[in-house]
Structure formats: C-alpha cells, structure tokens
Amino acid sequence: MKRIWLACLLLVAITAGNAQTKVYQTKSGKVRFYSSTAVENIEANNTQVDAKLATNGQMVFMVAIRGFVFKNALMQEHFNENYMESDKFPKASFMGTVTNIKEVDFTKDGSYKVTVSGDMEIHGTKQKVSAPGTIEIKGGVVTATSVFKLTITDYGIKGNYIGDKIAREVEITLNCKYD
Ligand SMILES: *[C@@H]1O[C@H](CO)[C@@H](O)[C@H](O)[C@H]1NC(C)=O
C-alpha cells in the first residue's frame, strides 16, 4: 500500500508540474461485483471508490473492500472475513494508463472507447491487467466506465465455495463520475 500512495503522490507531483495536464478526481466512484453460477448469483455494490484520471492518461483507482454492500449481511461478513481478509488487505487498487489517451479530446463532448492497462492489486496480490472502457465527456463532466472479468483465484483468494456458489471469474463494473 505504501508504494501505491507514493505512486499517487508522484502522479500529483508530475501532473502539477505540467500546466497542460489536468487531473479529474472523485472519492465516490462506484464499483459492482457480480458472480453468476448455476447455484446462485451474488452481487455487491461499493460507492467508495477513490479515482483519479489525468489528461495525460494516468489512471488510479482505490477501493475500500469493506465498502462492498451485499443484500445478505452474512454473505458480506463471509466476503470480508473468509475470502478478502479485509482487515489484512483493506484496499484494492489499480494503477495504470489509458493507452490511447491521445484519441480522447477532453474539450469536446463525446464517448471515447479506451483501453486501460496497468497493475491491479487485490488481496495483497498484484497482477498486470488490461481492460476496455469508455471515457465520456459531457458539458465538461468526465465519466469513466468499464466492465471486465476478473479471475479471483489469480489473487490468492481462497474459500470453500469458489468454483461452486462463487464463480472463479467474476464481473466487475466500474462507474466513476469525476467531480
Ligand atoms: C447494486 O446496484 C444496482 C444498480 O443501482 C441495483 O440494481 C442493485 O440492486 C444493487 N445491488 C445490491 C446488492 O445492493
């Protein structure tokens, strides 16, 4: 985590030094977790995503794991205690870049298809990931969205129900409207 905060500071420092670069941010981005199996579907929403997007393409997301809210309180408890070990690993993060940022015109309304790649850290385990997304500009308001699959076992997450009640591959939906 220390390394990530350092990287965030670095991002702010880099961008502050360049008058041309603007940083959009929010502390209330949304992320949805969805697991679908023949046994059951499990969904949780989190509205505490700390997100930054710089016009040079740098992108950071921080997610408080305990911010995921399930319909079933017991399920939420198991998610935190048994699977995510949230006391030990309270945050998940992503740090990367929009690889085709040059195609995004922040001064013009539009919906731009982007590819984001970088390092995802979940449950204390880091993986290189790449995902498609959209950056929407509307009247100066910037929103980033993405839907992608994540293989939870790649992050050392273990539990009896993985591959049974809980899918090995879950769907993540991200929606961050920057302030
Ligand atoms: C998550 O949010 C979606 C969209 O707002 C909503 O339809 C769904 O019921 C929510 N799920 C839970 C578990 O709160």
Q: Whose CA is nearest to atom 10 of ligand 1?
A: 45
pLDDT at 1: 53
The residue to which tokens 């921080």 are assigned = 62
Task: Name the band, by pLDDT with cuts 50, 70 and 90, for residue 12.
Answer: low
Cβ of residue 173 lying under 6 Å from some atom of ligand 1: no
* 3 CA distance to ligand 1 middle (Å): 33
Question: Each residue of 70-110: pLDDT tens digit?
Answer: 999 999 999 999 999 999 999 999 999 999 999 999 999 99
Architecture of domain 2-177: Beta Barrel (2.40)
Q: Where are the domains of the chain?
A: 2-177
Q: Whose CA is nearest to atom 5 of ligand 1?
A: 45
Cβ of residue 46 lying under 6 Å from some atom of ligand 1: no
Query: What is the DSSP pairing of strand 69-70 with strand 141-151?
Result: unpaired
pLDDT at 163: 87
Cβ of residue 69 lying under 6 Å from some atom of ligand 1: yes
User: How many Cβ atoms are within 10 Å of 112's Cβ, its own excluded?
Assistant: 18
Q: Which of 133, 141, 136 is nearest to 111 (CA)?
A: 136
Q: What is the pTM of this model?
A: 0.88
pLDDT at 160: 84
Mean pLDDT of 16-29: 85
